[in-house]
Amino acid sequence: REKKLDVQFSILQPFYDQPEYVDALVASAKPYLIQEHDHLLLSFHGLPERHLTKLDPTGFHCFKDADCCKNAPPEVMATCYRAQCIRTAELFAQRMGLKDGQWSVSFQSRLGRAKWIEPYTEARLEELAKSGVKKVLVMCPAFVADCIETLEEIGDRGREQFREAGGEELVLVPCLNDEAQWAQALSTLCERAPIAL
């Protein structure tokens, strides 16, 4: 016999541009950004391009030009993961006072043969090293907790790749993990979430 659970749950909407989230990123990264470095790479989890084009509510915006994510109308921003990642990076860079050229965005964790959103993190690390960047900081804002994709993929393999391409040091900025400011931010975001049945 089936039992019906009487459970309420909340759906947390995308928080890529919420001040509490960006503030938590800034607070956790600041001790690393005050260290000497040549470039900051914000590496987000990737997705196959087809996932984004399927969700494009206009049917004609995603990947139609190089700046599609920077010029995304509100209805596209609501569903475009790539545009949301870029917006997070822009807000973070603004808050940290970073100038163009001091930071960039990439996407990691590709699987299979399908085309994924670019630029790819491994290619970007190689480009940075070959362009003369000796010390790169990498942070992974799409991951709220460190995992194999941050620690091993970036912290180990990415570091090795960067060095093989001519770079000297890759510093992985830890994810938000159990930072007190992130815990408070998450609590605030959850309190705002609408109750769904």
Percent of the chain whose pLDDT exceeds 70: 98
> What ranges do the domains of the chain cover?
9-47+86-196
Residue 69 has pLDDT above 70, yes or no: yes
How far apart (Å, rounded) are the C-alpha atoms in residues 64 and 114? 18
Query: What is the rounded average pLDDT of the residues 84-105?
Result: 97
Residue 195 has pLDDT above 70, yes or no: no
Give strand ranges (E) for the chain. Answer: 9-10, 39-45, 103-108, 135-139, 169-172, 195-196
Q: Give per-residue pLDDT as tens, 129-177.
A: 999 999 999 999 999 999 999 999 999 999 999 999 999 999 999 999 9
Question: Architecture of domain 9-47+86-196 in CATH?
Answer: 3-Layer(aba) Sandwich (3.40)
